[in-house]
Chains A and B, each alone.
Chain A
Amino acid sequence: MADFTKLAEEIIFKAKKNGAGDAEIYISRSSSMDIKIKNSEVSETNLAESLGVGIRLIKNKRQGYAYACDLSPKNVEKALNIALRNTNFSDEDPYLKLPAKQNYQKLDLFDEAIDTAPLEEKIALAKEVEELSQDMPYIQKVEHAGFQESFGEVWLYNSKGVNAHEKYSYCALYATLLSEKNGEQDSGSGFSQDLKLANLSPLACAEMSAKRAGRLLGAKSMASAKCAVVFEPYIAAQFISLLAGSFSGENVLKGKSMYAKDLKSQIAPENFSLIDDSSLNGQLGSASFDGEGTAAQRTAIIQQGVLNSFLYDCKAAAQASTVSTANSGRGSYKSAPSIATTNYYVENGSTAPEEIIAQTSYGLYVTNILGAHTANTLTGDFSFGASGILIEKGKFTVPIRGVTIAGNLKDILANIDFVGNDLTFFGAEGSPTLRVQNVQISG
């Protein structure tokens, strides 16, 4: 295992000599492989590798950040000098702070099997997805099926004694399918992803892709209505992720959260709890320490409908007179860390999804939304293109497309009445089926 302790000590020493109060060094190395299959043959391969270092300094209560994409003494020195210079241009912030040395629990995030499995085995998995997909209802063509894997390794050091290292891996199967019925076409994608190779399921991937490709064929528009909307887990998770920024402690302090004044208030029904937990084994958003070196933890953001906690990194926590919730995230070594969710999910409720449908006299089961990124996460206002399946008298009737759903995210959360028992993760975000009352649909 590579160890950069000596390099880090040198940087910290030089930074302090130049007046920095604190210094942090983050090194990340990653590699990935992606193989696409088309007509039973490998049609595309993609190999990638990357290494970089980010240096963060606090000097005179000002932050300075810089990076280098190799570890050569010349470029690391250059980055250190840019970081030092940048402290002169940032505005003063009395709350800037780095965490002290702490103990981390060991998480199971690296699967040796992904690394050692022969390429043929991975190709075979993707081919199996392609074959299984071809036989699914309404599937006309498999646009592609594929396998991807990635490996990452991070090293984090700071002047307060943090010296942390972690390795992680990830793998996935994916497919995009074209469907046809009565001359009408549609498409859909699906995946099976896991931290362990043995848990990948070609069948689950094919089934998800085929379901998403085939179930809206023959869709029509529907009349405008204010009615119940049922979000399948995939869509529910997307909705919940739009709220994440509002639970950032930093945004709360800056008046940029629509929940800024709602701590300890009821903002959702009692059967709804929203969790952020980086300490889960086997999940994509897990890490034994966060981007600054704070030990992983579970945070109930919403506990039985009550807004229980915001998410903090060290700086926002210091300003809010609380402690970090280990939510300092790193997008890449090229930028300073900032508050981010880890494994962010709605806890399972008690109602089976079938039961939620059966209990709905009229409503839209939403399976796709268009324009999720256009939601105004500051005000909560949104208006999305939507498609799905109409629910009438407790049963699915006709597929629907070309309508919009609109409202405010805060109202969506408040008007949830059913929480399903089918929690599913999509990446690091997860939710069970959710039903929401009184949503405006325009058609």
Chain B
Amino acid sequence: MDNFLDNRQIAEILKEAQKTGADFAEIFIEDKHTCSINSDGGKIERLNDGESYGLGLRLISGEKVAYASTNDLNYENLLKIAQKTAQAIRGDAKEIDLSFEKPLVQKSAAQIRPEKIDLDEKIAQVKLCDQAALAEDEHIKRTMVSYSDVNQHVLIANTNGLWVDDERIRTRIAINAIAQDESQMQTGFESLGGSAGFELLTADAAQILGQKAAKRAVDLLSARPCPGGKMPVVLSSQAGGTMVHEACGHGLEGDLVEKSMSAYKNRLGEKVAAECISVVDDPTLEGKYGSYAYDDEGARAQSNVLIKDGVLENYMYDYHTAQKVGAVSTANGRRESYRKKPVTRMSNTLILPGKDDPEKIIASVQKGLLVTKMGGGQVNTLSGDYVFDVAEGYMIIDGEIAYQVKGATLAGNGPKSLQDVEMVGNDLGFAIGTCGKSGQSAPVADAQPTLKINNLVVGGTVSGDFEIERR
């Protein structure tokens, strides 16, 4: 970071910014190296490899926030921006002494740094993934593979004397395989990602990913339309954690609670879920896609218990929201880039494992839906109504898996669904995702054990009754 500004200049900019009386001023400098490779139909079509950088300046005065961003890091320009931003605040200059005596420096724990790997080798992994999918089944007609590694180096300095220099490396590979027969087209998606370097792609990881995506797409060719209506649903641990993310995660983000936009507002200490449910948000898990050492405000990451045995214990907070409600940051202040002010965000969100045998959970359902892979989702945090896509699902009839279905969505209400959880498996499965909120996207991971939820609305494509013959 020294190549942009030294600590004396940073202190001067913060001082300039605080001249109109802001309680708090903060600088966030980001230097980001991204390498992304996209193939379509086996051809490398898009290759992006470059550096971008910029600075975000934030001032807080009571409830008020003034933010500015630029990618012109010339010192004189930054002083001008500091003055302009400060015009939004009216008050007396604060006397501050900024020496940044305790700089915190964190290097990424990535074992194989992506910049040490030749482009050829990264491209080879993309092609490996593509070819594995094509070789898996003759119905696979095309694949789209995307690979990316990001090294985001940030410097966060504020008028509380904080100085955090943090390096985050994330790597991700994903494939979308298209299967086709005479009458239809189906797609299968798989992704792998982590707060890790090129070691993420172990010997056959790309290959297995391609095979899994291909199999998912091909299996869907023989799946039947999903019946719609209310029924019990089993969410397998392999299905990922979109449900916990949408049904309760967003509603427990402090900024939404503070704005009265959450169904979980004013419910601390209350029972908001079945007793078998405990929910944790934990950015400290090693190598997960939503992991970090410091959040984007420089707060040291910590594990947060949100719901314990069904009782709401705490919300997630960023610095300013916590200040507004008299709480402390839980290190959930995240931002997409230097252009955006931090907002409360999840990291890795988990429903903790319970006691039930996953097989027994399935066996307990007379008629219902088994979800083995969830797709994307969305929630209305105020009402708690949420939906998510079922990427792979099966009808359960008399406790047994009967046949695969396609085109299903699950719709429910967060607080109600969590009350309606009847069984919690003793297993745990992770999935990665990119979460969108306030126009910003952030890498996250979610996890859950196998769960049985009563009375979810299954949005199917055929009418309700599904007493069809088994096969």
A interface residues, Cβ below 8 angstroms from B: 38, 41-52, 64-70, 79, 82, 86, 89-91, 93, 141, 143, 178, 185-187, 221, 224, 226, 254-256, 258, 334-336, 368, 370-374, 376, 378-379, 381, 383-385, 387, 401-408, 440, 442-443
Contacts and interface: CB of A to CB of B under 8 A. Distances in A.
B161 interface: no
Interface residues of B, number: 72
Nearest to A91: B43
B204 interface: no
Given A52-B71, A370-B378, A440-B463, A334 B48 contact: yes
B409 interface: yes
B268 to A, nearest CB: 18
Contacts of A384: 387, 409, 459
Contact of A406 (B259, B341, B376, B459): B459
23 contacts: A44-B66, A44-B67, A46-B68, A48-B70, A49-B70, A69-B52, A70-B72, A82-B49, A89-B44, A89-B120, A90-B45, A91-B45, A334-B50, A371-B389, A373-B376, A374-B375, A378-B185, A381-B407, A385-B385, A387-B385, A406-B228, A406-B407, A440-B463
Nearest to B40: A254
A442 B230 CA distance: 8
B460 A47 contact: no
B380 interface: yes
Contacts of B382: 178, 185-187
A203 to B, nearest CB: 24
Contacts of B399: none
B98 interface: no
Contact of B385 (A48, A335, A402, A442): A402
A69 B34 CA distance: 13
Given A47-B68, A52-B52, 8 more contacts: A49-B71, A70-B71, A143-B259, A143-B261, A258-B185, A370-B386, A384-B409, A440-B460
A442 B41 contact: no
Contacts of B119: 89
B50 A66 contact: yes
Given A45-B85, A379-B184, A404 B387 contact: yes
B461 interface: yes
B44 A402 contact: no
A383 B461 CA distance: 8
Given A43-B65, A69-B71, A371-B388, A336 B46 contact: yes
A46 B44 contact: no
Interface string B406-420: 111101010000000
B385 A401 contact: yes
B142 interface: yes
A254 B260 contact: no
A440 B461 CA distance: 6
Interface of B: 40-41, 43-54, 63-72, 81, 84-85, 88, 119-120, 123, 141-142, 178, 184-187, 228-229, 259-261, 339, 341, 375-380, 382-383, 385-389, 406-409, 411, 413, 457-464
A64 B228 CA distance: 48
A68 B376 contact: no
B22 to A, nearest CB: 12
A401 B462 CA distance: 20
A379 B186 CA distance: 6
A378 B72 CA distance: 41
Contacts of B49: 66, 82, 86
B411 A385 contact: yes
Contact of B457 (A43, A86, A403): A403
A20 B288 CA distance: 42
Contact of A381 (B378, B388, B406, B458): B406
Contacts of B45: 90-91, 93
Give the residue among B47, B259, B383 with the most A Cβ atoms within 10 A: B47
A221 B456 CA distance: 13
Nearest to B178: A378
Contacts of A404: 228, 387, 409, 411, 457-459
Contacts of B458: 404, 442
B383 A401 contact: yes
Contacts of B141: 255
Chain A to chain B: the 8 pairs with minimum beta-carbon distance, closest first: A404-B459, A442-B228, A383-B409, A385-B387, A374-B389, A91-B43, A47-B68, A371-B387
B50 A68 contact: yes
A47 B67 contact: yes
A336 to B, nearest CB: 6
B385 A374 contact: no
Nearest to A368: B380
A374 B228 contact: no
Contact of B69 (A47, A334, A368, A406): A47
Nearest to A378: B187
B260 A143 contact: yes
Contacts of A254: 40-41, 142
B68 A43 contact: no
Nearest to B412: A402
Contacts of A52: 52, 71
Nearest to A372: B378
Give the residue among B63, B375, B389 with the most A Cβ atoms within 10 A: B389
A297 B187 CA distance: 34
A97 to B, nearest CB: 15
Given A379-B187, A406-B407, A44 B43 contact: no
Given A258-B185, A402-B385, A373 B378 contact: yes
Given A50-B71, A370-B386, A406 B66 contact: no
Contacts of B459: 383-385, 403-406, 442
Nearest to A144: B259
Contacts of A64: 47
A325 to B, nearest CB: 20
